[in-house]
Structure 1
Amino acid sequence: MTGKTPFSAEAWKNVDWLRQATDCFDLTIRSVNVNDRQCLLVFVGGVTGTTSIEPIVESLVFDKGNLAFFPATVTQAGSLEDALDKILQGQTLVILEGSAYAFIVDTRSYPTRGPSEPTVEKSVRGARDGFIEHIMLDLGMVRRRIRDPKLVTKAYQKGSRTKTDIFVLYISDLIHPSILHDFQNRIDHLPVNAEVTSERQLCELMYGQTWNPYPHVRYTERPDIAAIHLLQGSLIILVDNCPSAVILPTTFFEQTKQIEEYTQTPVISLVMRAIRLAGVFCSIYLLPLWMVLVMQQNPTRLNLPLPEIPGPITFGVQVLIADLLIEWIRLSLIHSPLMLSSLLGIVAVFVLGDAPIAYGAYTQEILIMTAIVNIGNFVTAGYELSMANKIVRLALIVMVVIGGYRGFLIGILIHLILLLQTQVGPFPYLYPLIPFNGKEFKRLFLGNFTMDKK
C-alpha cells in the first residue's frame, strides 16, 4: 500500500481526511449506532441511490464481532484514496468506530433514460431498443441476446481524473487472436494522464489522430448489431456515459451494412445491399464523373444532353456552392430546435429554388446532380463513412477542375491507394474483396453470422 493513506481507528479522522481531499457540498455523512458502536456512512448525493441506504442501515448487525451487511454487494476498502474514488462513483463508504477497516457498499444509482430506438439506425423490422448512457444496462442488453458462457467481459478504468469505466466484450472461441492481441496491446499502453470522456476519444488515444478521413472503427447504437458482430468474431467496446458501442475491427463494406439486411429474406437482402452499395459509390464518383463529361462535352457514345459551361473554374465553383448549401441545410436541421424545422424548410426552398438559378449561382443540372449524390450519402448506413465519402467527393471535384479527366483518374487512383493503405487489426480495409476471400465475401453479401478466420 505504498503511497496510500490507511484508515484510522477513529472514524471521524477518516471523515476529516475525505473532506479535506475533496471540496464537495454534496458529500453526505450519516451516523448510525449499531450495538452501541458508532458507524459512519459516507456517500455523495445524486449518484448514490438513497433508497438503498435505508435497507443497508436496517441490516447492519454484529456477528461475533464482525459487521454484517445482508442486502448489498460489499468489498473492503484498501485505503482512503481508494475509498474516495468509490465514493465519487456513487458507492457508500461504511466506517466503524474503533476499527482500522472500512467497507464499500455498492449503492450506485445514476440518472438515466430508458432504452429507445436509435434515431440514426432505424429499422422497419427488428428490435426497438438502443444503447443508453448507463454502461451496466448496455451490457445487460447484449447479454440478453447472447447467453453463452464463452462471452468474455472485461472491465477497465481509464483516465486519471475521469476514471471512466470501459467494458470489453468478445466470444473467446470466435474472436481472431490477432484482434485480441492488438487491442490488449493498445489499451495497456494508453498514456497515464490521458482522459477518456467518450468512445471517440478512446479510439483516438488507441489509434492516434490521423488525416485519413475513413473511420478505423464502427460505431453502433443498436445492441442487436453489436450481438451480430460478436457472433462474427468481432470485439465490442462499451464506454460509460456513451450511448454507442465500438466494433473492432471494421472494413469499408462492413460500414455499409444495416440491420434490415438481417431481417429480410436472402434475395431481398442481396438486392438491398446492391442498391445501397450503388448509392455509396454514386455519392463518391457520380458528380465528378458528370463534371468530366460536361467539361469534355461528352466525348462518348452516351449522347447525353449536357449544358454549356462558362469555364472549368466557374463551373467547379458552382458545383461546390450547391453542394455546400445542401450541407449547411443538413447541419442546420440537425442542430436546430424542432420548432424551427418548418422555418428551415421554407429557407431551403428559397436557397435551392429558382431564385439562385435565375441569378446564376448554379444551374438546374448542378442542383439535380448534387441532390442525387447527397441522397447517396444518406443511403450510406455508417454516418462516419458517409462523411468520409463526402470529403473524398469534394477532393475529386477540385481535382477535376484542375486537371479535367486526368485529374479525375488520378483522384480515383489516390482514393484506391488510401483505402488499400487503411488497415485496422489483421484485415485490410477492402477485405474480403482485396485480398479476396470467397467464404467471407459470401457471408458479407448473404448475411450469414459465421466468420471465416482463415
Structure 2
Amino acid sequence: MEEKEIKGVQEKEDAASGKIGSSLFENMQYFHDKLQVDKNFDIIYKMTLVADKNASIYFMDGFVKDTIMQKLMEYFYSITPEDLPEDSHGLSHENMPYVEVDLLDDKEEILTNILSGVLCLFIDGYSKCFAIDCRTYPMRSVQEPEKDKVLRGSRDGFVETVVFNTALIRRRIRSPKLVMEMLKAGNSSQSDIVLSYMDDRVDKKFLAELKKRIENMKVDALTMNQESLAECIYRRKWYNPFPKFKYTERPDATAASILEGKIAILIDNSPAAMILPVGIFDILEEADDFYFPPVTGTYLRVTRFCISVMTLFLTPVWLLLMQNPEWIPGSLEFIKISDPVNVPLIAQLLILEFAIDGLKLAAINTPSMLTTPLSVIAALVVGEFSVKSGWFNSETMLYMAFVAIANYTQASYELGYALKFMRLIMLVLTAIFGIYGLIAGVIISMLFIALNKTVSGKSYLYPLIPFSGRQLARRLFRVRISHYYE
C-alpha cells in the first residue's frame, strides 16, 4: 500500500475515533462548524505561515494578551523549513517560545481548550494541535474580602480566577506536599475545580471518595458555583440546616485549614474556598482568634460562642417568661412589658424575624449612594413609629434588634440561618405548649446538631463526640501555635 493511501486510512480512523487529522483544511472545516465562527464575533481564527506551511490559530477575543500574540506571530514568521522539526513534539518542547504548551489530538478536548481561552495552533501536515496557554482573565484586584474582615492580619482575598487563588495559597505553603489537583464538572460549563490538600496529612480514603463523587456528577453546569457543587457532593439530610461546608474568602484561613489536613475546593469564577470536612467547632473559628495573643484570642472565641447561644435562646425564653410573669424574679421585673400589647407577642416576634431578613435583602439591593438616607428613614419609620402606632412593643424591638446584630458576630451565613430556623421552631413551640414546647425545641435543636454528619461521614461534634480532651481544649481555647505540633 502506498504512503498516501496509508495516510488516508489513518486519517479516516482518527476521524472515527474523535482525533484530528493532519489536513489543515479538514481540521478548520470541523472547528469552524463546531465553534460557529461565522456567528460568534469573539471566536477568532487567523491564517498564518509556519516555515512555509499553512497554519491557523483559534483563540477567544479578550482572553489573549496582545503582546504575547505579537511575539508568537513574529516567531512563527521567523521559522525556516530547515528549523522545523519533523514531529510536533520537537516543535512544542524545543523551539516554541512559551512555557505552557501542550499537544492535543482529541477534538472535544481541543474545543474545551479554545472555549476556555487557550490559543490553539493547527499546522498543515501535523496531526497534533499546539495548545498555548497564554490566556489572561479579566479580574478585580486582590483585596480584603468584605465579609471576612479582620482587625489584624493579611489584607488579601480570593478573586474569581482560580489560578490566582491557587497562587495565593502557594505563597503561604511552600511545601512539595501541597497538591493542587484539577478536575472538571458540567457538560456545558466545563467548570474548573481544584482540590487543594497536603498529600501527607489528608484523609486518603475521603479524598478518593470525594474525587469519585465529582467525577461521577451528572450536571449540565455549575450555575451557582460552590452551592451547585455542594448539593451534588452531599445529597443526604438536605433538611438539616446546619452547614456541612465552611466558606472563606481568605487565603490565610484556607492555608491554615489545609495544613490541618482538610481539603479546600476552589472553583473558577468563585472568590471563595470551600473547606471540608468540617464540624460545628471548625465553623465557629475565625481568623481573628489567631491574629491576637492567646488570652485575647480565647476571649474573642468564648464571646462569639456565648453570643451565638444567646441569639438562639433569648427571645424564646423571654416569650416564655412573658407568658408566665409569676416566674420572673423580683430583680428582673424590668423585663416585663409596660405598654399595652395590641398584637400577640409571638406574632410580633415572627413578623420581626421576617422583617429583618427583608431589610437585609433591601440593603443588598440598595445603591450605595442611597444607603445612608434610606437607613435614616428606616430607623425613624420602622423603629420609632412602629412602636408608637401600637404594632410592636419597645421590648420586642429591643430583643430582636440584639438578635439581628448578634448574628454577625460569626461570619458563617449558613450557621446564622441554621440558628434562626431553630429559634423559629422554639418560638412557635413555646407559644403553643409553654415550658414543654421550649424543652421540645431545645431537644430538636440538639438532635439536629448531634445527628448531623460531616461530608466524610464523621461526627459533627468532634472533638466532643467522640471525646478528645486535647483537641476540645484547642477548639474552645486559643493556645500557643507551637503546642499544636508537640
Q: How does 1:250-269 map to 2 (within 5 A)?
A: 250-269=278-297
Q: Is the alpha carbon distance of 1:317 and 1:177 closer, same or farther for their aligned partners in structure 2, counting shifts above 3 Å? A: same
Relative to structure 2, which stretch is displaced further, 176-185 or 82-91?
176-185
Among 15, 20, 34, the alignment partner of 1:7 is 20
Query: Contact 1:256–1:380 at 8 Å: present in 2 too?
Result: yes
Among 222, 228, 233, the alignment partner of 1:196 is 222
Following the alignment from structure 1 to structure 2, what is the Cα–Cα distance between the partners of residues 64 and 370?
A: 75
Report what 1:283 is aligned to.
311
Report what 1:63 is aligned to.
84
Report what 1:340 is aligned to.
370
Report what 1:430 is aligned to.
461
Among 120, 128, 136, the alignment partner of 2:155 is 128
Query: Contact 1:280–1:377 at 8 Å: present in 2 too?
Result: yes
Report what 2:182 is aligned to.
155
Following the alignment from structure 1 to structure 2, what is the Cα–Cα distance between the partners of residues 184 and 65?
A: 39
Among 126, 135, 143, the alignment partner of 1:99 is 126
Q: How does 1:309-388 map to 2 (within 5 A)?
A: 314-388=344-418
How far off is 1:138 after superposition? 0.1
Among 219, 225, 228, the alignment partner of 2:256 is 228
Q: Name the SS for the 1:169 alignment partner.
A: strand
Q: Name the SS for the 1:41 alignment partner.
A: strand
Q: How does 1:166-177 map to 2 (within 5 A)?
A: 166-177=193-204
How far off is 1:6 after superposition? 3.0
Among 460, 469, 478, the alignment partner of 1:446 is 478
Following the alignment from structure 1 to structure 2, what is the Cα–Cα distance between the partners of residues 2 and 316?
A: 70
Relative to structure 2, which stretch is displaced further, 211-220 or 62-71?
62-71
Q: Is the alpha carbon distance of 1:166 and 1:400 closer, same or farther for their aligned partners in structure 2, counting shifts above 3 Å? A: same
Q: Name the SS for the 1:186 alignment partner.
A: helix
How far off is 1:423 after superposition? 0.6
Q: Name the SS for the 1:285 alignment partner.
A: helix
Q: Is the alpha carbon distance of 1:158 and 1:237 closer, same or farther for their aligned partners in structure 2, counting shifts above 3 Å? A: same
Query: Contact 2:185–2:215 at 8 Å: present in 1 too?
Result: no
Larger-gyration structure (1/2): 2
Relative to structure 2, which stretch is displaced further, 134-143 or 209-218?
209-218
Query: Contact 1:396–1:408 at 8 Å: present in 2 too?
Result: yes
Q: Is the alpha carbon distance of 1:375 and 1:239 closer, same or farther for their aligned partners in structure 2, counting shifts above 3 Å? A: same
Q: Name the SS for the 1:99 alignment partner.
A: coil
Q: Name the SS for the 2:244 alignment partner.
A: coil
Relative to structure 2, which stretch is displaced further, 394-403 or 235-244?
394-403
Cα distance per residue 1:257-285 (max 9 Å; x no partner): 21111010101111111111111111111
Following the alignment from structure 1 to structure 2, what is the Cα–Cα distance between the partners of residues 75 and 12?
A: 22
Cα distance per residue 1:360-388 (max 9 Å; x no partner): 11111101111111222111231211121
Q: Name the SS for the 1:422 alignment partner.
A: coil
Query: Contact 1:151–1:172 at 8 Å: present in 2 too?
Result: yes
Cα distance per residue 1:138-192 (max 9 Å; x no partner): 000000000111112211011111001111011122223443244234223322x
Asked whether 1:80 is paired with 2:110, we answer no
How far off is 1:350 after superposition? 2.8
Following the alignment from structure 2 to structure 1, what is the Cα–Cα distance between the partners of residues 339 and 462?
A: 41
How far off is 1:228 after superposition? 0.8
Query: Contact 1:220–1:245 at 8 Å: present in 2 too?
Result: yes
Following the alignment from structure 1 to structure 2, what is the Cα–Cα distance between the partners of residues 268 and 441?
A: 18
Q: Is the alpha carbon distance of 1:324 and 1:450 closer, same or farther for their aligned partners in structure 2, counting shifts above 3 Å? A: farther
Query: Contact 1:150–1:171 at 8 Å: present in 2 too?
Result: yes
Report what 1:21 is aligned to.
34
Following the alignment from structure 2 to structure 1, what is the Cα–Cα distance between the partners of residues 115 and 482?
A: 43
1 or 2, which has the higher helix percentage? Answer: 2
After superposition, the CA RMSD in angstroms is 2.3
Which amino acid in the other structure matches residue 467 of structure 2? F
Following the alignment from structure 1 to structure 2, what is the Cα–Cα distance between the partners of residues 374 and 2?
A: 63
Query: Contact 2:105–2:127 at 8 Å: present in 1 too?
Result: no
How far off is 1:73 after superposition? 1.7
Q: TM-score, normalised by structure 1?
A: 0.93
Following the alignment from structure 1 to structure 2, what is the Cα–Cα distance between the partners of residues 29 and 244?
A: 35
Relative to structure 2, which stretch is displaced further, 94-103 or 56-65?
56-65
Cα distance per residue 1:71-113 (max 9 Å; x no partner): 2421111133221111111111111123333221112111111
Query: Contact 2:202–2:261 at 8 Å: present in 1 too?
Result: yes
Following the alignment from structure 2 to structure 1, what is the Cα–Cα distance between the partners of residues 172 and 124?
A: 47
Quote the sequence identity (%): 29
Cα distance per residue 1:301-342 (max 9 Å; x no partner): 464221269789811001222333233222211221101102
How far off is 1:39 after superposition? 1.8
Query: Contact 2:342–2:391 at 8 Å: present in 1 too?
Result: no
Structure 1 residues without counterparts, runs of 5 or longer: none
Query: Contact 1:43–1:87 at 8 Å: present in 2 too?
Result: yes
Q: Name the SS for the 2:370 alignment partner.
A: helix
Query: Contact 1:231–1:449 at 8 Å: present in 2 too?
Result: no
Relative to structure 2, which stretch is displaced further, 154-163 or 323-332?
323-332
Q: TM-score, normalised by structure 2?
A: 0.87
Q: Name the SS for the 2:280 alignment partner.
A: coil
Following the alignment from structure 2 to structure 1, what is the Cα–Cα distance between the partners of residues 430 and 212?
A: 43
Following the alignment from structure 1 to structure 2, what is the Cα–Cα distance between the partners of residues 58 and 168?
A: 38
Count matched residues. 452
Query: Contact 1:39–1:97 at 8 Å: present in 2 too?
Result: yes
Q: Is the alpha carbon distance of 1:435 and 1:296 closer, same or farther for their aligned partners in structure 2, counting shifts above 3 Å? A: farther
